[in-house]
Amino acid sequence: MPEHGPEKITKEERGDPHSPEKAEALEVAQHKLDILLDDEFKDYAVRFMNLAEYEKMIQIGEFESREAEVMSGGSSFKQYLKNSGGDWERVARRITNWDHGVVNIRTYEWLMRLMKESSREVKQEETGGDERTKTLRKFRDKVLATRRHYSIFLWGSDYEQDKTNLPRFEDEAKSILGEDTYLQIDTEIMGSITAGETGSLQYNMEEFLRTISVVPEVKERLRHLLFRIADIKKRFSFFTEEKLKILHDFIENPNYLDDGGKVKDIISILSFAPSYGASKDTRQYHVMAVFDTQALSGNQSWLKQWKYLRSAPAKGYEPQDMVLGVVALIPNTDLVNELSEKSSSSGRMAHAVFDHNGRVRYPN
C-alpha cells in the first residue's frame, strides 16, 4: 500500500476467501465489529494516520508509541460515526489541530465540487450534444486551470522527458565514475529514497563529491547528473511511473477523459497526491484507527485529551487485539477495498473496516 494512494486489488491477489487464514481473520474482525457497534461501547481511542503508518502497523503486528485521542464516557462509537456525517476534514481538524493533515481529504472534496460545477454549467449552456463528454472536458479544464499540488503537475508534465533523460544521465555518470563506483552510489540513492532519507542523501553525495579527483568543470557536471538522477528516481519511486504516465496523458490530451474510463484514476491520483509543508511525508490523514483503551500507556501528551499508545507486547497484552477498526476518510473504492483486503489477511490484527459514511465494509 503506497503512501500516496491505494492500489487496485486483483482477484488473484485476494487469494482464497475460504482459507483457514481468512476464516481466522473474519472471526477476529467480527468480534471487534460487535464491540464497536455495541450501544454501550463508549471508551476508546482514535488516531488519524496515513497509509504508510497503517500498513506498517498491519505488517509488524504492533503500532508505534504515538498520540491518540481518548474518547471516554461520551457517546458510543456507533453514535460518533453517525455524528461525523462523513465530514472527516472537520473532525480531523478539530481533534488534531493540524490543518496540513487534511489536504488530501480537502482535495477530494474540491474535485467533487469541480465535477458538480462542470455538470451544472454544461446543463445551463444547453448547446446539445453529449453532455457527459462536455462535462468531463470542462472538469479537466477546471482542474488544470487551478492546479492544486502544483509540483505533481510538473512531475506529470516532465514524465516523458524524465523517462528519456534518466538512462542518458546514468550512462554519462558511469563514464565519469566507472560502472562499479556508479552502482555503489545508485544503491545508496535508492536506499535513501526507500527509507525517506533524502536529506541525508544530499549530504552524503556532497561528501562523496569532495573525494572525487576531477577538474572542477567535470565535478560540477557530475553533481548535476547525480542530483538529477536522484530527483527523477525519487519521483518514480515516490509516486510510481504508472501514475505519472496517467497524469502526463491527462495534461497533454484534451480528450483523455472522454470515455470516462480514467476519471476515477485521475481523482484518486490527485486526491492522494503528496502535499508540501511541515512533515509532508507522514502527516496526511487517510484513515482513522480505533483502539481499545487498553492500548493506552497512560503517558499524557501535551494536550489533555491525548495519551500515548503502548506498542510492545507484554504479559497479558497483545497490540494485535487492541486495533478494533479503521475508517476510510476519503470516499475511494480502491482505498476501502485495500483496507478490507489488508484486514482480512492479518490474522489477530484483523479489524472492522468502515467507509467514510460509517458503513461496514469488512466483515460483510
Assess contact for 343 and 362: CB atoms under 8 A. Answer: yes
Cβ atoms of residues 327 and 346 within 8 Å: no
- Could you give the 3-state DSSP secondary structure of residue 289? strand
Residue 149 confidence (pLDDT): 64
Q: What is the pLDDT of residue 267?
A: 92
d(CA 112, CA 104): 13
Question: Which residues is 48 bridged to in the sheet?
Answer: 288
Please name every residue paired with 151 in a beta bridge, in sequence order, or none if there are none.
Answer: none
End-to-end CA distance of the chain: 22
What pLDDT score does 7 carry? 65
pLDDT in tens, 170-202: 999 999 999 999 998 888 888 877 766 666 777
> In the prediction, which pLDDT does 10 show?
61
Alpha-carbon Rg for the chain in angstroms: 24
Q: Which residues of the chain have pLDDT under 70?
A: 1-16, 148-149, 195-199, 275-283, 302-304
**Closest to 43 measured CA to CA, from 309, 329, 290, 357:** 290
Report d(CA 137, CA 27) in Å as an integer: 47
SS3 28: helix
Nearest C-alpha neighbor of 210 from the set 224, 223, 191, 229: 223
pTM of the full structure: 0.81
Return the bridge partners of 352, or none.
325
**Rounded Cα distance, 271 and 283, in Å:** 15
Closest by Cα among 346, 287, 298, 318 to 46:
287
Grid coordinates representing 252?
497533454
